[in-house]
Homo-oligomer: A and B are copies of this chain.
Amino acid sequence: MSPKITTELLKHLRQVMKNPRYVQEPVQAYIVPSGDAHQSEYIAPCDCRRAFISGFDGSAGTAIVTEQHAAMWTDGRYFLQAAHQMDSNWTLMKMGLKDTPTQEDWLVSVLPEGSKVGVDPFIIPADQWKRMSKVLRSAGHDLVPVKENLIDTIWTDCPQRPCKPLITLDLSYTGVSWRDKIVALRSKMAERKVMWFVVTALDEVAWLFNLRGSDVEYNPVFFAYAVIGMNTIRLFIDGDRMMDPAVREHLQLDSTLEPEFKIQVMPYGSILSELQAVGAGLSPKEKVWLSDKASYALTEAIPKAYRYLTPYTPICIAKAVKNAAETEGMRRAHIKDAVALCELFNWLEKEVPKGTVTEIVAADKAEEFRSQQKDFVELSFATISSTGPNGAIIHYKPVPETNRTLSVNEIYLLDSGAQYKDGTTDVTRTMHFGTPSAYEKECFTYVLKGHIAVSAAIFPNGTKGHLLDSFARSALWDCGLDYLHGTGHGVGSFLNVHEGPCGISYKTFADEPLEAGMIVSDEPGYYEDGSFGIRIENVVLVIPAETKYNFKNRGSLTFEPLTLVPIQTKMIDVNLLTEKERNWVNEYHQKCREVVGAELERQGRHEALRWLLRETEPLAPVQ
């Protein structure tokens, strides 16, 4: 792929940074964060301002443009991609490497004295504002909110904000009604003595009201805010989607309801003024609960003394623990997803040797097979279909310029998933359609050992996920190999494929303790730049474990794989496995056979079933 030429755009941006029509005083630097006004990871095209100005369109990154410089901070997943997509106007700041300055420190090092640094107050989270503002101020600079987004002023063909119809989810999917969720939320509010709770994250709004949307690709959410009081419910949402009778019925908008469950629907754009009115009307001791990642603009609407900020909201925490209906839905979704992947891999095995299957063709075929499954809605993220050296680009997405043909000589890595009405999937398998080298098998087997070490780990109730991250690396470390990403993330239930507050990553510390019902991914990898990438990913459910001494009744936890797709045994060097690991693989494959085999049979997919049976033959004994 060739980089985006940004010389003119940057010139234009630097002009508006001094234009009194947009800024009260000229700003010497302008920050373009990744997110939208809801601090979403996946964003709508109209919010892709950082990609517009720089060309780099990975999911994480912050651009800063000064009069002299343009710099982009991103993490290890995107070093290669960002370097490819940006032109020479841009400096890549590799986060996580020792010598890379923070954004604040870099600004201090390049700005002339007494500079103003501008940012859209709706886009920057309050906690980040606070951190940056403090460092800048102590160096004699000022972080200033610029009301009008400066990228929007130069983005002449910026797309419209989407406003698509909503999907209502009944109890068979959600397990709990929105009314009961409101009741539970209010009881958490009462515990903390807060009078108001502001719902700013899109997936939290969707979860709370048992609604889904399609305003953002891959994430079944819709643009909205909510403000929940002890006796009021306000939903800020645009468009005529509230006219849909199914939605009106679901939210009981036309029913006679107790006043505390009556939803007031208000325009999306009125959130700031409404929140300011709430802020102005507070009596002493009346607190307003916000995420500390809510936008600076909304946080400032509440006077400081009345704010109650937490890193994780009560909705985020409740949402993470799946109930029986959600867990069963996730199981069903993963069985259907496995059926689609068995079809795909069976098809690839026949087609790849012909030399006609490109990364894009394979990704499209995967989507085709998934879309044949019941309750399929869309993909849960852009399919990473990568062969050979492209596999080493951790969050690679094939585009025509990079599209490579699969062959019997290269490793193929497929990281993909879907949204079904009953659940969200995310699975990675690494396959070889010819004969893998001893080195490729060695690396694959270490990754597998790490995957098993996490999946089979037993740990006391209340353990934080980050404490399990090293288990996934131990076998790689022993040979001097590692990977530059976390081992797992929370997964939503027909919601965002990445969600907090739990995960398995050395990068986090403030994750919430794991408890039964939480769902995370287990995805160690190994990447050889310029050669190949390996990753083995299952979505796993936290379940109670049986242990001999049960932590003095504290309780024991472990994981159950929800993903049931064969792990290619051809890639395994059995002699590097312990007996326990070999048994794990065989038992896992036995379960794939039984559960997915039955579904393939039921769907009449006999060829894929034969593929499954062959791929799940027990491993040869360890020599």
Residues of A within 8 A of B (CB): 98, 138, 305, 457-460, 462, 464, 467-471, 473-474, 477-482, 506, 509, 547-551, 554, 556
Contacts and interface: CB of A to CB of B under 8 A. Distances in A.
A468 B467 contact: no
Contacts of A474: 457, 471
A468 B554 CA distance: 23
A477 B457 contact: yes
A480 B550 contact: yes
B462 A477 contact: no
Contact of A556 (B464, B480, B550, B554): B480
A477 B460 contact: yes
A474 B482 CA distance: 20
A548 B475 CA distance: 12
16 contacts: A457-B477, A458-B478, A459-B477, A460-B477, A464-B506, A467-B470, A468-B470, A470-B470, A477-B547, A477-B556, A478-B547, A480-B549, A480-B550, A480-B551, A480-B556, A481-B549
Contact of A482 (B305, B468, B506, B551): B551
A549 B457 contact: no
Contacts of A547: 477-480
A467 B506 contact: yes
A549 B479 contact: yes
Contacts of A549: 479-481
A482 B305 CA distance: 42
Contacts of A305: 138
A98 B467 contact: no
Contacts of A481: 549, 551
Nearest to A513: B98
Contacts of A460: 477, 480, 482
Nearest to A546: B480
A123 B550 CA distance: 42
Nearest to A551: B480
A478 B460 CA distance: 9
Nearest to A557: B477
Contact of A470 (B471, B480, B556): B471
Given A98-B462, A459-B470, A459-B477, 5 more contacts: A457-B474, A457-B477, A464-B506, A467-B469, A479-B548
Smallest CB-CB A-B distances: 7 pairs: A480-B547, A509-B509, A480-B549, A480-B550, A479-B548, A467-B470, A480-B551
A276 to B, nearest CB: 21
Nearest to A97: B462
Given A467-B506, A470-B467, A548 B458 contact: no
